[in-house]
Amino acid sequence: MEKIIVKGGNKLKGEVNISSAKNSVLPIIAASILSGDLSVIENAPMLEDVFVICDVLESLGASIKINKENNNISIDTKDINSKEEPKADLVRKMRASFLIMGPMLSRFGRVKLSLPGGCNIGSRPIDLHLKGLSSLGAQIYLGHGYVEGKADRLIGNKIYLDFPSVGATENIMMAGVLAKGETVIENAAEEPEIKDLANYLNDMGAIVEGAGTGRIRIKGVSELKGVTHKPIYDRIEAGTYMIAAAMTRSKIKINGVDEEHIKPILAKLSECGINIDIKNGIATTYGDVDIKPVDIKTMPYPGFPTDMQAQMMALLSLSKGTSIITETVFENRFMHASEIKRMGANIKIDGRSAVIEGVKGLTGAEVRATDLRAGAALILCGLAAECNTQISDVYHIDRGYVDIEKKLKSLGACIERINV
C-alpha cells in the first residue's frame, strides 16, 4: 500500500505548471468514439482516470497510444465494435466511464455497460442521462447491474434537465450530434469543460451552439471526423495550489490559469483576504495573510465548485473566525471533515452544512483520503501542520492530480510517497 507523508512547516516558493483538466479530457476521449477516425489529445493529463477511460475504449476495440514523453494520446476508433461490452470492473472503477453511452448510441445505435462507480460522495444516480437519451428515442433496459441502450437512429428532441448535471449534459450533447434533426438541452450544465467538449465536437464537424450557457442547441449531422485538440487547463488543480500557497503563507506563481474559468474560486479566496494577480495565464498568489472566515455554498457553475469544497474546508480550518460551508451538489461530501478534525481542526457537521471554527494550528496525524478532493485537502493540511502527516488510500489522489508530490516538492514542500 502506498502512503503520502507530508512534513509540514515549509514555505513554498517558485512556480508550478497546471495540467489539462481531467473533467474535460474524459468526455473528449469518450467523444472520439463518434468519428471512427484517428483523434489526438495534446497535453493530456497522465492520470489514473484518463487511463481508465482509455482502457474502456480499448476494451471496445479502439487502438490507443499514450505518449508519456509529450503527453499526447492518439485514439483510433475505427475498429470499435458495438457488440463488445467494456469490462465491468473498469466501468465500476470510474463513473465517467458512463460517458461512452451517448457516443456509442449515437454512432452504433447500441451500447451495453455495467452501472458506473466513482468517488464515494453520494448516491450519484444516472436518471438524467437515461431520461435524456430516452427522449432522443433510445430504448433503455436496466437489469442485473447493467444498462443497455438501443436505437435505430437517435432523433433530436427538446430536453429539460431537472438539475444541470455535468455528465448528463455531456452524454446528451454527444448523443445529439449524430441524431436526426435538432436537440435542445434546457437547464444544461454551464461548466467550462462543457464548452471545451462542444469546441472539440464542433472541430469534428458537429453543430453545437450555446455550450457554456443553460441552453444548448445541437443540429445533428451525418458524420464526424477525427481531430487534434488541446484541452483547457484544470481550474480545480489551480485552485488547490492557490490554497497551498495560502495555507503555508507563501507566494507562488501558478502557470495555466484561465481567469474566466476560475472566477467563482477567486471570489471566495479574495473574500478570505488572499490576493491573486492573474496576467497572461499566470496567477501570482500572495498567501502571507491571516485567513478571514467566509460562508460558502457549493453550486453548479458559475457557482462555487463542489470539487473545491474539501480544499476550502482545509483552508478555513485555519481562519480567524467561524465559517459555514453548505454542500448542495452532493449529499455525502463531508467525509474529509472527520479526517481534518484528526489534525486538530474544529468542524461540526449538521446535515448539508459544516461549521468551521478556525484554530491556531494543525498537527500531523495518520489520516485517510476518503475521495479524490478529500485527499488533496489532507495534503494541504499536512503542508501547514506541525510534524508529519501520513495519508493512506492515496490512489484517490492519483485519479485527479498529476505528479502532486513532484509539483509540491519543486515548490519546496517536504512530501514523499512510501510503500508500506
Choices 160-168, 287-295, 346-354, 382-390 (CB under 6 A): range interacting with ligand UD1: 160-168
Residues in the annotated binding site:
22-23, 95, 124-128, 307, 329
x/- mask, ligand UD1, residues 304-323, rule CB under 6 A, reads -xxx----------------
- How near is the Cβ of 343 to ligand UD1 at its closest, in Å? 24
Give me the residue whose beta carbon is nearest to ligand UD1. 167
Choices 126-134, 173-181, 313-321, 405-413 (CB under 6 A): range interacting with ligand UD1: 126-134
Work out whether 108 is an interface residue with ligand UD1 (CB under 6 A). no
> At 265, which helix (H) or strand (E)?
helix 259-271
Work out whether 31 is an interface residue with ligand UD1 (CB under 6 A). no
d(CA 161, CA 184): 11
Work out whether 171 is an interface residue with ligand UD1 (CB under 6 A). no
Residues in the annotated binding site for UDP-N-acetyl-alpha-D-glucosamine:
95, 124-128, 307, 329
In 158-226 the beta strands, taken as DSSP E runs, fall at 158-160, 182-186, 207-209, 215-219
- How near is the Cβ of 289 to ligand UD1 at its closest, in Å? 28
**Can 387 be counted among the known catalytic residues?**
no
Contacts of 273 (CB under 8 A, 6+ apart): 289, 290, 291, 292
Q: Which is nearer to ligand UD1, 200 or 330 (CB)?
A: 330
The DSSP output letter for 95 is: G
Which residue among 95, 261, 336, 407 contacts ligand UD1 (CB under 6 A)?
95
d(CA 215, CA 406): 41
- How near is the Cβ of 193 to ligand UD1 at its closest, in Å? 6
Q: Which is nearer to ligand UD1, 115 or 155 (CB)?
A: 115
Strand 282-286 and strand 63-67: pairing?
Answer: unpaired
d(CA 222, CA 179): 8
Query: What part of residues 326-345 is at the interface with ligand UD1 (CB under 6 A)?
Result: 329-330
Work out whether 167 is an interface residue with ligand UD1 (CB under 6 A). yes
Which residue among 117, 122, 302, 412 contacts ligand UD1 (CB under 6 A)?
122
Work out whether 26 is an interface residue with ligand UD1 (CB under 6 A). yes
Instruction: Find the catalytic residue in 54, 119, 272, 381.
Output: 119
Asked whether the beta carbons of 70 and 47 are under 8 A apart, the reply is: no
List the grid coordinates of 290: 491571516
Q: State residue 132 phi and psi, 5-degree precision.
A: -65, -45
What letter represents residue 379's amino acid?
I
User: Which residue bears the cell 450544465?
Assistant: 189
Shortest CA distance to 187 belongs to which of 164, 167, 154? 164
User: Which residue bears the cell 430536453?
Assistant: 159
Work out whether 127 is an interface residue with ligand UD1 (CB under 6 A). yes
61 conformational bin, left if phi > 0, alpha if psi -120 to 50, beta if neither: left
Which residue among 165, 199, 248, 309 contacts ligand UD1 (CB under 6 A)?
165
Asked whether the beta carbons of 95 and 330 are under 8 A apart, the reply is: no
Which residue among 105, 113, 128, 369 contacts ligand UD1 (CB under 6 A)?
128
d(CA 325, CA 296): 5
List the grid coordinates of 238: 489551480
Work out whether 200 is an interface residue with ligand UD1 (CB under 6 A). no
Residues in contact with ligand UD1 by CB under 6 A are 23, 26, 95-96, 122-129, 163, 165-168, 189, 305-307, 329-330
Q: Which residues are catalytic?
A: 119
